[in-house]
Structure 1
Amino acid sequence: MTNQSSGSLTADRRAEFARSYAGAGDFDAAADIMAQALELAPEHLPFLALMGDWLDKAGRAADAADTWAQMLRLDADDRFGAQLRLASLGLTETPDTPPVAYVESLFDDFAPRFETSLVERLDYHAPQLLTEAIAGALGTGRMSVRHAIDLGCGTGLMGEHLRKSASFLEGIDLSAGMLKRARSKRIYDRLDKGDVADMAFAETDPGRADLAVAADVYIYLGDLAPAFALAARLLEANGLFAFTVEAHDGPEDFMVRPSLRYAHSQAYVSRALAAAGFEVATLDRVFLRMDGAKRIEGHLAVARKATPTAVLPDAAMADRTETVRDDEHGLRSGRKLT
């Protein structure tokens, strides 16, 4: 997305020159040269996004913040996540959710290199960890389910594991680019484009699944309540819900990291699950992946949708209450109860 032409050949050439400096680690020089490109294309968002990133890496946080604020003024949809960048510096409040346009654009752009980056470069193995945890929660030593829903399915890395054990496999993702690659694998019985916190996916057939999985999906959400509510609505009673999030050890429920991914506290995850009607089976600290030279740890959760408690109708409750009172009166008067 940051490689889009500005429409000015001279500006594009200067931007390429700036990229070469950034590639060599000289972010100060890269930002200064990009400023020259922006004189020729002052409202070109991809150039501004690179400029802000390089200013931040050069330690010029105030200049980076000014650049991101300019991007927000130019793009109400915030396709480059400028608000998240400001939040990561503590300059604005952390949004409950990122802009939908940002997430969709990010993964449409990332789709062609997604699996290579995750599996080969970042040592990503959340799907395997989730598969093992689900099998453990089922108590069978292996995973066998009737209807599984892969929430935020991406290119199908989690789906490849689920396909071996699910009679019916459904996938949901916001990115058309990701869905195109998932579809090419021919492992899903159904694929839909949409938000993993959109209750519309459960309106027509609630309780249709016995397993819902979200592998490294909620790292792009702050407030987990809508997403957990959707998972609960999709699952039948006693259905399993398994997911990973990045771990946050601070006092806040969640925060935005410089990577623009969200991290959540274990206490918050537990509370959000309980509020959505889930009982926790597993909530472990795990290694998720690398981010450059940094190890990223997270929480892996497997929870079970609680069986609804039967509630007596008002009339029946009144009758029951009256019976209890009669019985109590009988005991006091010496009548034998039957």
Structure 2
Amino acid sequence: MQSNQLTSGDVIADRRADYAKMLDESGEPHAAAELMEQALELVPRWAAGWYRLAGYREKSGNTAGAIEAYTQTLDASPDDIFGAKLKLALLGEVMTPDQPPSSYVERLFDDYADRFETSLVEKLDYSVPGKLAALVATTGRHYSLAVDLGCGTGLLGPEIRDRVARLEGFDLSRNMLAKAAEKHVYDHLEQADLSLAPEATGLFAEGARHRADLVTAADVLMYLGNLESVFEAVSALVVPGADFAFSVEDAGGDDGFHLAPSLRYSHSEAYVRALCARYGLDVSAVSKTAIRKDGANTISGILFLTHKAV
């Protein structure tokens, strides 16, 4: 049995965990935590169980207990597929990581792929692909090669396909890439990890640098904190005169970037503009807009259209 499996491998522990979930959904997180503790007595190295216990404790106001449970999650699953370190950062126990664990982001979207478009577009009013495509359309250009970073299920692809001769999509999640392939819009799809140094991302597998005259990143950068490596990768991808269009969640007046309770990062306009200047990207247009809902809240974002000087 893998210690990070979503089920424990023990029938009694799983049953108690199921009851704990029911209690939590009924508004009784303290009782849910007690039952989850009993389940973990039977399977003490169950990472997913510790993560669930941490959540119940956090809801019931037991911050110290939540920190202990998130720490146990990380101990049982060192690759941190649950993002326990991000939770510990929000609770002030560790420094905010510059990047989330790739294993966490990959698992998140692999699990989310089948319901991604229904949840995001139909329920959360997700609007970035259309808005970003409209921003690209203001250039009036037709592109030889577009690279769609973090393409997901391919929502942006159909929006820009008519102005692109060749369209390549890259994403960390193989399940999301499989969904994108079903649209028959992309000429090439490949797995890539934008949190790594440029040459390790998977974007340059054939050594093809400076090949794209359009790069897009729709709702991708909020799953990365420090964007330095992303801008370095984009700089290596584009030809002189290329456009780079992307979105971020708006950090408001805050400087730099910060981790939100959603476990996504928000970035300030000043931070992004500084990176653009550093990597020779002229900011052509900026649009501040609502990009999706998150529960009862509306998430504000910033869309950028930038241009690489010739």
Q: For 1:294-336, what per-residue CA distance to the aligned partner results, in whole angstroms no more than 9, with x for missing partners?
A: 11001111110122xxxxxxxxxxxxxxxxxxxxxxxxxxxxx
Q: Does 1:130 align with 2:132?
A: yes
CA contact (8 A) 1:68 1:82 kept: yes
**How does 1:8-87 map onto structure 2 within 5 Å?**
8-87=10-89
CA distance in 2, matches of 1:89, 1:108: 27
Q: Which amino acid aligns with 2:155?
A: L
For this pair of structures, how many residues does the alignment match? 303
CA distance in 1, matches of 2:92, 2:241: 41
Q: For 1:190-211, what per-residue CA distance to the aligned partner results, in whole angstroms no more than 9, with x for missing partners?
A: 0111113552324722221111
Q: Does 1:234 align with 2:237?
A: yes
Q: Which amino acid aligns with 2:181?
A: R
Which residue number corresponds to residue 121 of structure 1?
123
Moved more, 90-99 or 285-294: 90-99
CA distance in 1, matches of 2:190, 2:309: 27
CA contact (8 A) 2:5 2:47 kept: no
CA distance in 1, matches of 2:31, 2:253: 35
Identical amino acids, percent of aligned pairs: 43
CA distance in 1, matches of 2:296, 2:259: 19
State which structure, 1 or 2, has the greater radius of gyration over its C-alpha atoms: 1
Moved more, 160-169 or 96-105: 160-169
Distance 1:76 1:252, change over 3 A: farther
CA distance in 1, matches of 2:182, 2:265: 30
Q: Which amino acid aligns with 2:113?
A: A
Q: Does 1:277 align with 2:280?
A: yes
CA distance in 2, matches of 1:251, 1:263: 9
Q: Which amino acid aligns with 2:42?
A: L
> TM-score, length-normalised on structure 1?
0.86
**How does 1:92-111 map onto structure 2 within 5 Å?**
92-111=94-113
Give the SS at the match of 2:152: coil
Let me know the Cα RMSD of the aligned residues.
1.7
Offset of 1:251 from its aligned partner?
3.6
Give the SS at the match of 1:164: helix
Q: Which amino acid aligns with 2:194?
A: V
Q: Which amino acid aligns with 2:144?
A: R
CA contact (8 A) 2:273 2:283 kept: yes
CA contact (8 A) 1:156 1:182 kept: yes
CA distance in 2, matches of 1:3, 1:14: 16
Structure 2 gaps of 5+ residues are: none
**How does 1:1-338 map onto structure 2 within 5 Å?**
4-136=6-138, 138=139, 140=140, 144-198=142-196, 199-200=198-199, 201-202=203-204, 204-249=207-252, 251-307=254-310
Offset of 1:164 from its aligned partner?
2.8
Q: Which amino acid aligns with 2:293?
A: M
Structure 1 gaps of 5+ residues are: 308-338
Offset of 1:53 from its aligned partner?
1.7
CA contact (8 A) 2:292 2:299 kept: yes
CA distance in 1, matches of 2:5, 2:78: 21
Q: For 1:136-159, what per-residue CA distance to the aligned partner results, in whole angstroms no more than 9, with x for missing partners?
A: 2x1x3xx63221111001111111
Q: For 1:215-272, what per-residue CA distance to the aligned partner results, in whole angstroms no more than 9, with x for missing partners?
A: 1001111110110111121111111101111111354411111111011111101101
> TM-score, length-normalised on structure 2?
0.93
CA distance in 2, matches of 1:197, 1:258: 20
CA contact (8 A) 1:197 1:230 kept: no
Offset of 1:3 from its aligned partner?
7.8
CA distance in 2, matches of 1:252, 1:62: 30
